Chains A and B, each alone.
Chain A
Amino acid sequence: MSRSVGALVALYRGLAALLPPGARGDREEMSRAFEELLRERASRAGRVAVAARGLAGLAWVVLMEWLEFLGAIRAPGRTRMGRRGGMGWSRNLRFALRTLRKAPAFSLTSVALVAVGVGAVTTIFTLVDHVLLRPLPYPTPERLVVLDEGAFPGPFFREIRALDAVEEWAGAWTDEGNLTGSGDPQRISRARVTEEFFSLFGARARRGRLLTPGDFGGASAAVVSAGAWQRIWGGDPEILGKAIEVDGLPYTVVGVLDASFAEPEALTGSRVDVWTPVDWSAEELGGHSMRVLQVAGRLRAGATTALAQEQMDGLTTRLADEHASYRRRDGSARTTPVLSLADQTVRGVRTGLGLLMGAVGLLLLVACANVANLFLARGLGRTREMAVRRAMGAGTGSLAGQLMVESMVVGIAGGAVGVGLAIVGIRSFLALNPTALPRQASVALDPTAVGFALLVSLATSLVFGLVPVLRSVKGELADELRGAGRAATSARGVTLFRNALVASEVALSLILVAGAGLLFRSFLTVSAQPPGFDVDHVWSVPLNLGRVESAEAYLATMEEIERESRALPGVREVAFGLTAPLQFTGGGRCCWHTMARVAGREEDQALISSTHPVSADWFTTLGIRLVAGRSWERSEARSEPTPLVVDETLALELAGSPEAALGMSVGVGNMQGVVVGVAAPTLHYGLDQETGNFLYLPVERLPFPIPLASLQVRVDPTAGEAVGQRLREAIWAVEPSLPVPALGTLRASVAASTAGRRFEAMIFGTFAAVALLLAAGGLYGTLLYLAGQRRREMGIRLALGASRGRIEAQVLRAGVALGVVGVTLGLGAAWMSNRLLESRVWGVERSDPVALGGAALILLATAALASWLPARRAGRVDPVETLRVE
């Protein structure tokens, strides 16, 4: 209840902010009175009545005050105001509904236009509100901080507990594991958390209990999240005490988290299935060099992030003196930024959502301009009606009021339809968006969004309603009754205004079209990057072997899977390595970086390289070209020195040319290697990522066990889709408990890696297309009206011998001129606003001539087309007919 009251009061305040200067002094008291009236009502129905009356009354007063302020109606010095209360309202409303019903095409078009604008804005606003604006769902969210720059060693976590700016720290080590013992083997997301984790984030148990200090000795208790409880165990009421296995280790379920608990995404990602206590005796948490814990904390009341940062800097400087792992390559201390958890959570999406909000804002403006245009045209058509009604005694105020009620009815109806569109919009956005938003689970249309939509609709109707009202009620009575000829000239000011509206519609649309063009160009540029490996006919299977005992066991399993796969019909080549191409994209790099040292050179000239342990057939299977030399034979894999293949960029850095690099001896870790081949560079980490300095070494030389593996399979072009299923069976024949994810060719990986860009371009494209359509409609309507208004003139000119072509050209020219003005303005605006897109595009300049020029051409062509139809109509005027009207 208090939430909806809060939202209503916010809405009221927002609306009251629209009052003109003279009435602003009362804003605060009015809003407070409204709030008190709302709060004292005990029943829901009472609150609804107060809210409806209060908001409607306020909207009315805003309108009347503005009309008085602008001088459209005289301020009521006399006290015959009462009539305008309840009675006047319902009468105006009835009258408005009747008038709108009589002009269905006008009404439906206006409502649809408002609905499109409001729907789009509400959709994006809901996303922005839930993802960016709301406080995180944890206790004292404003005091939560997170340590940036990845993960931290176990001993580091114990050190930071001494910092007194932070009252509580929690760490989480999240990875994937294979869950067995509950039906089919499954990949699950598992987080190992420290003692304070659940209390820091205010988590509650739905069943059983959360982790207690006693659980951190043996590390065999597990808590499952509400989602996993339903998905994996079907909401089994007997889950407490159940034995499960994760990566072969036994755990006992002690509790189920409440469904309201949202994972702190900056720490654990958006979905964790099973929570277990960290095992402080684990090898990974023992030393200063293994970084596994993501860390968050709560500031002591009154402490600032800056203070925490200061204390953190002191600590990291001290640690850097003691341990090499806290130093950078140049010997300075690695800093550990302390960031607000809220900022960190949404860091990656803030600009994207902001841009979308800007885009829908433009769209709403275009829709608004269009509706204003429609109303203006209709207002002109009704000057006689208004004049007659005034002559019969209707006051200026009541005429204006009635017109405003009409536009408010349109606004509210449009808003209601818009809310419906927003529901569909939000669902489709979340369903189609290939890159998950943070906090996306909580996104839904709620009272705040509905209130927002209502506010936007009312503000919109004020904007498009006010102009025609001012027009319609100002003119002198006699003028309007005198006849159509005179009305046409007095409408010159309006025509100018309408032209300005249309030109700005064209300009606004151009901004959107150019933005969409830029994003599409960027998407196409990225997609057209040659990846350096074959994308067709190569199936890529990322695997996670779970708990691997030793490097030998890893190799044995993978070699057996390789053998089984190679025996399948249609399979030509099979290779394996740690990671698959495009498995880690968007800046994330996995997993192994080493220094490539050249014998006889200084240590500090060592080159950091991205190290890829692969099997001997890796290059032929993936179709990676060898620039010089060759790959190693399987039989040479264990020979000394270790045969290495470097990519061209590393070869150039090491030796200046691929050929010169051959035979060079290079130290990698504890190994001594010799370069036997130079491979062409590949875009292993994403088509839009800088690449280079790859060092391939035989997977047989992998010094430690690691669960990560990828199988690459080259098939006959004729093999077809059935290969996927056969591959899956082959893998299961070797390792029955291994979950095999969805299988696909590298072509699919390429598409997936660019899906985010494509989606962004498509959303912008959709908005741009709608804006384009609206602008075209506005131009068309304006010219049609213009031509209609000058029918008589054209009739006369035709009768006097002017050619139809000339008349047509005149109208066409008027339309294209508007288009040119709009395009010129729009190009400037687009050039400036494209700067905001710079961080989202790749390989394209913001002044990209194709995007800007293309957008200008599209807008001009649209303007020409939208002008051509009214022009033809103008040319077809029958002179006899038009003259007969008089």
Chain B
Amino acid sequence: MDTPRHLPLAPRDLLILSVLAEGPRHGYGIIKEVERRSSAGVLLDPANLYRVLRRMRDLGWIEEADDGEERRRTHHLTPEGREVLGAEVRRLEELLAQARPAVAGGG
């Protein structure tokens, strides 16, 4: 898979992938978790979330499964998705490593 082609990830995509990295969730759960994590209380709107999920599914990053109860589908990360997430996190860490001294005066 041509991982670098997809980088950098949009912040929202990164957040969604990292939430799913912890385990399968359904759409509403993702919204709540993203909201909980972000300090500013970022709110994903359902329509855009599902649009992103559709795209990630097409790209093979996530898969869906029926969780049986409530007729809601859960989404979980595929190995490809995990790889993209890992690549993006590494890229950001390198970027930060390069940027940090310039901003914080060496911290």
Binding site for B on A (CB under 8 A): 16, 22-23, 26, 29-34, 36-37, 49-50, 53-54, 56-58, 60-62, 64-65, 75-83, 85
Residue pairs across A and B with Cβ atoms less than 8 A apart, 10 shown, are A23-B54, A32-B72, A50-B43, A53-B45, A61-B50, A62-B47, A78-B5, A78-B6, A81-B10, A82-B11
- Which of B24-32, B90-98, B99-107 has 4 or more CB atoms under 8 Å from chain A? B24-32
Query: For the complex, what is the distance from the CA of A780 to the CA of B66, rounded to whole Å?
Result: 57
- Is A33 a contact of B46 with CB atoms below 8 Å? yes
- Nearest B residue to A15 via CB reads B47
Given contacts A49-B43, A77-B59, A78-B6, is CB(A29)–CB(B48) below 8 Å? Answer: no
Say whether B55 faces chain A, with CB atoms less than 8 Å apart: yes
Contacts of B11 in A (CB 8 A): 82
Query: For the complex, what is the distance from the CA of A50 to the CA of B44, rounded to whole Å?
Result: 9
* B59 smallest CB distance to A (angstroms): 7
Query: For the complex, what is the distance from the CA of A58 to the CA of B49, rounded to whole Å?
Result: 10
Given contacts A29-B27, A76-B55, is CB(A37)–CB(B13) below 8 Å? Answer: no
- Is A37 a contact of B46 with CB atoms below 8 Å? yes
Say whether B73 faces chain A, with CB atoms less than 8 Å apart: yes
Interface string of B3-26 (1 = CB under 8 A from A): 001111111110000000000001
- Is B72 a contact of A79 with CB atoms below 8 Å? no
Given contacts A29-B73, A81-B10, A82-B11, is CB(A23)–CB(B27) below 8 Å? Answer: no
Interface string of B44-86 (1 = CB under 8 A from A): 0111111111110011000000000000110000000000000
* A13 smallest CB distance to B (angstroms): 12
Query: For the complex, what is the distance from the CA of A77 to the CA of B48, rounded to whole Å?
Result: 16
- Nearest B residue to A78 via CB reads B6
- Is A26 a contact of B54 with CB atoms below 8 Å? yes
Given contacts A29-B72, A37-B31, is CB(A81)–CB(B47) below 8 Å? Answer: no
Q: Is the interface of B mostly helix, strand, loop or mixed?
A: helix
- Is B47 a contact of A60 with CB atoms below 8 Å? yes
Query: For the complex, what is the distance from the CA of A358 to the CA of B63, rounded to whole Å?
Result: 46
Query: For the complex, what is the distance from the CA of A79 to the CA of B47, rounded to whole Å?
Result: 17
Query: For the complex, what is the distance from the CA of A64 to the CA of B13, rounded to whole Å?
Result: 18
Query: For the complex, what is the distance from the CA of A31 to the CA of B31, rounded to whole Å?
Result: 13
Contacts of B54 in A (CB 8 A): 22-23, 26
* B36 smallest CB distance to A (angstroms): 13
Contacts of A56 in B (CB 8 A): 45
- Is B43 a contact of A53 with CB atoms below 8 Å? yes
- Nearest B residue to A59 via CB reads B47
Contacts of A36 in B (CB 8 A): 28
Contacts of B50 in A (CB 8 A): 23, 26, 29-30, 61
Given contacts A26-B54, A29-B72, A29-B73, is CB(A79)–CB(B9) below 8 Å? Answer: yes
* B75 smallest CB distance to A (angstroms): 11
* B91 smallest CB distance to A (angstroms): 13
Contacts of A62 in B (CB 8 A): 47
- Is B52 a contact of A81 with CB atoms below 8 Å? yes
Binding site for A on B (CB under 8 A): 5-13, 26-28, 31, 43, 45-55, 58-59, 72-73
Contacts of B49 in A (CB 8 A): 33
* A224 smallest CB distance to B (angstroms): 52
Contacts of A49 in B (CB 8 A): 43
Contacts of B6 in A (CB 8 A): 78-79
Contacts of B59 in A (CB 8 A): 77
Contacts of A58 in B (CB 8 A): 45-47
Interface pairs A-B: 3 shortest CB-CB = A82-B10, A57-B45, A58-B47
Contacts of A32 in B (CB 8 A): 28, 72
* A236 smallest CB distance to B (angstroms): 54
- Is B47 a contact of A30 with CB atoms below 8 Å? yes
Query: For the complex, what is the distance from the CA of A58 to the CA of B45, rounded to whole Å?
Result: 8
Query: For the complex, what is the distance from the CA of A30 to the CA of B9, rounded to whole Å?
Result: 23
- Is A23 a contact of B45 with CB atoms below 8 Å? no
Partner of B46, one of A57, A82, A83: A57
- Is B43 a contact of A16 with CB atoms below 8 Å? no
| 13 new A-B contacts at CB < 8 Å, known A16-B47, A37-B31, A57-B46 | A23-B54, A29-B27, A30-B46, A31-B46, A33-B27, A33-B46, A50-B43, A54-B47, A57-B45, A58-B47, A61-B51, A75-B55, A82-B10
- Nearest A residue to B55 via CB reads A76
Contacts of B53 in A (CB 8 A): 26
* A589 smallest CB distance to B (angstroms): 59
* A41 smallest CB distance to B (angstroms): 10
- Nearest A residue to B84 via CB reads A79
- Is B47 a contact of A61 with CB atoms below 8 Å? yes
Contacts of B48 in A (CB 8 A): 57, 60-61, 85
Contacts of A54 in B (CB 8 A): 45-47
Partner of A80, one of B10, B47, B51, B73: B10
- Nearest A residue to B42 via CB reads A86
Most buried by A among B5, B27, B46, B53: B46
Query: For the complex, what is the distance from the CA of A78 to the CA of B31, rounded to whole Å?
Result: 22
- Nearest A residue to B43 via CB reads A53
* B33 smallest CB distance to A (angstroms): 13
Partner of A64, one of B10, B26, B31, B51: B51
Given contacts A23-B51, A77-B59, A79-B9, is CB(A34)–CB(B43) below 8 Å? Answer: no
* A88 smallest CB distance to B (angstroms): 11
Query: For the complex, what is the distance from the CA of A150 to the CA of B55, rounded to whole Å?
Result: 64
Query: For the complex, what is the distance from the CA of A450 to the CA of B58, rounded to whole Å?
Result: 38
Contacts of A76 in B (CB 8 A): 55
Contacts of A33 in B (CB 8 A): 27-28, 31, 46, 49
Contacts of A60 in B (CB 8 A): 47-48
* B38 smallest CB distance to A (angstroms): 13
* A799 smallest CB distance to B (angstroms): 56
* B14 smallest CB distance to A (angstroms): 9
Query: For the complex, what is the distance from the CA of A25 to the CA of B70, rounded to whole Å?
Result: 16
* A885 smallest CB distance to B (angstroms): 46
Partner of A65, one of B27, B51, B72: B51
Query: For the complex, what is the distance from the CA of A60 to the CA of B58, rounded to whole Å?
Result: 20
Query: For the complex, what is the distance from the CA of A78 to the CA of B52, rounded to whole Å?
Result: 11
Given contacts A37-B46, A58-B47, A61-B51, is CB(A79)–CB(B28) below 8 Å? Answer: no
Query: For the complex, what is the distance from the CA of A588 to the CA of B52, rounded to whole Å?
Result: 64
Contacts of B27 in A (CB 8 A): 26, 29-30, 33
Contacts of B7 in A (CB 8 A): 79
Query: For the complex, what is the distance from the CA of A31 to the CA of B54, rounded to whole Å?
Result: 16
* A102 smallest CB distance to B (angstroms): 30
Query: For the complex, what is the distance from the CA of A54 to the CA of B72, rounded to whole Å?
Result: 20
Contacts of B8 in A (CB 8 A): 79
